[in-house]
Chains A and B, each alone.
Chain A
Amino acid sequence: EVQLVESGGGLVKPGGSLRLSCAASGFTFTNTWMNWVRQAPGKGLEWIGRIRSNVDGGTTDYGTPLKDRITISRDDSKNMLYLQMDSLETEDTAVYYCTTGFSRGYWGQGTLVTVSS
C-alpha cells in the first residue's frame, strides 16, 4: 500500500523557519519525482514545487510565490522528502501536502502550518 505521511507542521512566528518531512512507502521512491502542494484555509490548491528523481538529475522547480524562500530536497536512503521554508509569512498558513508525480497520483494527508504571532 502506498503511503505518504507528512510531518513537521505546527505554529511558527512570522519570519521563522520550518522543515516539513514526508515519509514515503509502498513504491519505489528512488525513481519517483515528488511534489509539494499547499492549501490555505478555505482556499484552492497551490503548487509549491517539485524534485526530480536522482536518476533524472535530482533538480528542483519552484512555483512563483515561494521560490526564494523554500528548498525541496530528498533522501532516497530513507525514502524521505523535505520542504525547508524560511522567512515565513502569515500568508503561508496552509495545509502542506506531498505528492508523487501526478502520473503516479498519490497524495499524503497533509500537515498544517500556522504562521502567527
Chain B
Amino acid sequence: QTVVTQEPSLTVSPGGTVTLTCASSTGAVTSGCYPDWFQQKPGQAPMTLIYSTSNKHSWTPARFSGSLLGGKAALTLSGAQPEDEAEYYCLLNCAGTWAFGGGTKLTVL
C-alpha cells in the first residue's frame, strides 16, 4: 500500500511564498502519478486546487501553482493571503490506486 508523505505543518508570512511537497513511498513522483492538490478549511468540504501536476481549475487563485520538485509533487503559494490558512492534501496514483497524503496545516502568520 502506497504511503504518501506531506509536511505536517508549515507557516508562511502574509505576502510570502511557501512550497508544500508530496512524496510517495513507491519512489519518485512523476507526472504519471497524476498529482492533485486540495484545500480544506475547517467545517468545509475540500476544494480541488490543482490536478495532474500543474493544471488549475477556473476557481483556483493564480497565486497557487503545482509542479514536480526533486522527486516530489509540489504546491507553491506565492503571495500568501490570510484566507489561505487551511489544510492542504495531495493525492497520488503512482501504483494503480489513489492515495492521499496526511495533509499539511498551513498557517499564515
Contacts and interface: CB of A to CB of B under 8 A. Distances in A.
Nearest to A48: B98
B103 A110 contact: no
B89 interface: yes
Contacts of A63: 97-99
Given A103-B55, A109-B45, 5 more contacts: A45-B40, A46-B100, A64-B1, A97-B46, A110-B45
Interface of A: 35, 37, 44-47, 50, 61-64, 97, 99, 102-103, 105-110
A47 B91 contact: yes
Nearest to A109: B45
Contact of A102 (B51, B87, B103): B51
Nearest to A101: B51
B100 A103 contact: no
A107 B46 contact: yes
Contact of A61 (B34, B55, B97): B97
A45 B100 CA distance: 6
A44 B45 contact: no
**Which 10 interchain pairs have the tightest Cβ spacing?**
A105-B48, A47-B98, A45-B100, A102-B36, A44-B103, A107-B45, A105-B57, A103-B51, A102-B51, A44-B102
Contacts of A46: 100
B7 to A, nearest CB: 13
Contacts of B51: 102-103, 105
